[in-house]
């Protein structure tokens, strides 16, 4: 099976590519990534020369390039490519609409013309909006009520996916996952920011009162869910994915400081994010029942392993924080064969 993975040089995409190359000896992967600030080829340095893996630098909105890649016999598209950081979407929504909405639309059109067997849209719990403290978790039929420009752009893409399924019969499956954590996450997101700032003895910004709740999932468990969706997910379906572990930001930051033996005095309360969603939680009974998915590690085990990974991979995150990671690509690009 030939997979076109878009956005594979980012956090989840790179974990997914490494995972499927290890677990599926008959799967081949083309990684199409624009290498925005969030794309980092050092995330995949260990598989760069893998015989079943190929990197192509490019934009999902480049119709000619995508069409060319699809003529190479792609069976499944897994669309991770996106602008993914809520705070950046508040500063400027334009790239979010460009990539998350228009890029997805172009990819859907190309998939339609090439009769792709399955199109997986990697979406987010944020499309459902915010829960109150006593609300039940989101199910696949919860209404879409996005609150940030990021969430709105992902919801728009989900609706396009739905429309292409209904109108053209495109075999689209949408997955909606909660907050991921694990190796290779860009240190603008809460967990890697907290770990790396703590290691550098820098302040850790906690928005508002720190009582916003997220449902955290270990990235490897998300990758395993996507693997099941590729193999068994039904076209036209939506699958919620989540870790089933709700925790307030402040409690999470304290837990990380405790693991690192760092003082709570590093916590710095800062003004709240505008439109900050209070609580996310996912009902994952559908993917458990229909596809047999279960998470592999407890939250505590996965958080411990993740913190340990950042401690051991000082060089990786320091190069991201300093901007040096972009030089690796420049060197690598010199030996890039034309696609």
Task: Give the catalytic positions in this structure.
Answer: 125-126, 150
Rounded to an integer, what distance in angstroms lies between the CA atom of residue 285 and that of residue 38?
A: 32
User: Is residue 249 a contact residue for ligand TYD (CB under 6 A)?
Assistant: yes
Q: Considering CB distances under 5 to 8 angstroms, the limit depending on partner class, which of ligand NAD, ligand TYD, none binds residue 205?
A: ligand TYD
Angle in degrees, CA 177, 278, 187, rounded to 5: 60
Q: How distant, in Å, are the alpha carbons of 137, 248, 273, 303 from that of 210?
A: 20, 7, 11, 19
* CB nearer to ligand NAD: pick between 147 and 180: 180
* CB nearer to ligand TYD: pick between 119 and 150: 150
Contacts of 167 by beta carbon, 8 Å cutoff, 6+ apart: none
User: Is residue 90 a contact residue for ligand TYD (CB under 6 A)?
Assistant: no
Q: How far out from the chain centre does Cα 311 lie?
A: 22
User: Is residue 279 a contact residue for ligand TYD (CB under 6 A)?
Assistant: no
Given candidates 18, 118, 189, 279, which one binds ligand TYD under the rule CB under 6 A? 189
Task: Say if residues 81 and 34 touch (Cβ distance below 8 Å).
Answer: yes
- For the chain, the distance separating the N- and C-terminal CA atoms, rounded to the nearest angstrom, is 20
Length of the chain: 339
* Least distance in angstroms from the C-beta of 85 to ligand TYD: 6
Contact mark string toward ligand NAD, 175..214, x via CB under 6 A: --x-xx-----x----------------------------
Given candidates 6, 28, 31, 148, which one binds ligand NAD under the rule CB under 6 A? 6
Q: Which two tokens stand for residue 217?
A: 């999932």
Given candidates 10, 137, 146, 243, which one binds ligand NAD under the rule CB under 6 A? 10
Please identify, among the stretches 29-37, 203-211, 221-229, 257-265, the one whose residues bind ligand TYD according to the rule CB under 6 A: 203-211
Contacts of 37 by beta carbon, 8 Å cutoff, 6+ apart: none
Rounded to an integer, what distance in angstroms lies between the CA atom of residue 244 and that of residue 187?
A: 23
User: Is residue 253 a contact residue for ligand NAD (CB under 6 A)?
Assistant: no
User: Is residue 212 a contact residue for ligand TYD (CB under 6 A)?
Assistant: yes
Identify the three-state secondary structure at position 309. helix
Q: Considering CB distances under 5 to 8 angstroms, the limit depending on partner class, which of ligand NAD, ligand TYD, none binds residue 190?
A: ligand TYD
Residue nearest to ligand NAD (CB): 10
Q: Considering CB distances under 5 to 8 angstroms, the limit depending on partner class, which of ligand NAD, ligand TYD, none binds residue 80?
A: ligand NAD
Helical ranges in the chain per DSSP H: 11-23, 63-70, 86-91, 94-96, 104-113, 149-168, 190-199, 219-232, 249-260, 285-291, 299-312, 314-322, 325-333
Task: Say if residues 163 and 225 touch (Cβ distance below 8 Å).
Answer: no
Q: Which two tokens stand for residue 251?
A: 């409690």
Given candidates 31, 89, 130, 179, which one binds ligand TYD under the rule CB under 6 A? 179
In terms of DSSP bridges, do strands 76-79 and 118-124 run parallel, antiparallel, or are they unpaired?
parallel
* Least distance in angstroms from the C-beta of 151 to ligand NAD: 9
Contact mark string toward ligand NAD, 28..67, x via CB under 6 A: ----xxxxx-xx-------------------xxx------
**Residues in contact with ligand NAD by the rule CB under 6 A:** 6-7, 9-13, 32-36, 38-39, 59-61, 80-84, 99, 103, 122, 124, 154, 177, 179-180, 186
> Site residues (CB under 6 A) for ligand TYD?
86, 179, 189-190, 193, 205-207, 212, 214, 249, 273
């Amino acid at each position: 099976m030939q997979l076109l993975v878009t956005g594979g040089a980012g956090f989840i995409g790179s974990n997914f590519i490494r995972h499927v190359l290890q677990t599926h000896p008959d799967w081949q992967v083309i990684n199409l990534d624009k290498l925005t600030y969030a794309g980092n080829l050092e995330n995949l340095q260990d598989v760069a020369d893998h015989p079943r893996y190929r990197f192509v630098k490019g934009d999902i909105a480049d119709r000619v390039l995508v069409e060319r890649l699809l003529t190479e016999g792609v069976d499944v598209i897994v669309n991770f490519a996106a602008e993914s950081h809520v705070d950046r979407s508040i500063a400027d929504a334009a790239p979010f609409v460009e990539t998350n909405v228009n890029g997805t639309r172009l990819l859907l059109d190309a998939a339609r013309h090439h009769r792709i067997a399955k199109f997986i849209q990697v979406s987010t719990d944020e499309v459902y909006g915010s829960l109150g403290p006593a609300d039940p978790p989101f199910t696949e039929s919860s209404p879409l009520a996005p609150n940030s420009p990021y969430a709105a752009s992902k919801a728009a893409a989900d609706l396009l996916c739905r429309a292409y399924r209904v109108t053209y019969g495109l075999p689209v499956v949408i997955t909606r996952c909660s907050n991921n954590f694990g190796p290779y996450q860009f240190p603008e997101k809460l967990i890697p920011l907290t770990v790396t700032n703590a290691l550098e003895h820098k302040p850790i910004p906690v928005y508002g009162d720190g009582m916003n709740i997220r449902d955290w999932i270990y990235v490897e468990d998300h990758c395993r869910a996507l693997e099941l969706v590729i193999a068994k997910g039904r076209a036209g379906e939506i699958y919620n994915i989540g870790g089933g572990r709700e925790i307030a930001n402040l409690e999470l930051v304290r837990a990380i400081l405790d693991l690192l033996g760092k003082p709570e005095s590093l916590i710095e309360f800062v003004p709240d994010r505008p439109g900050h969603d209070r609580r996310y939680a996912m009902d994952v009974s559908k993917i458990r029942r229909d596809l047999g998915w279960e998470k592999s590690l407890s939250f505590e085990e996965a958080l411990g392993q993740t913190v340990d990974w950042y401690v051991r991979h000082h060089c990786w995150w320091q190069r991201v924080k300093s901007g040096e990671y972009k030089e690796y690509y420049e060197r690598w690009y010199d030996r890039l064969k034309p696609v």
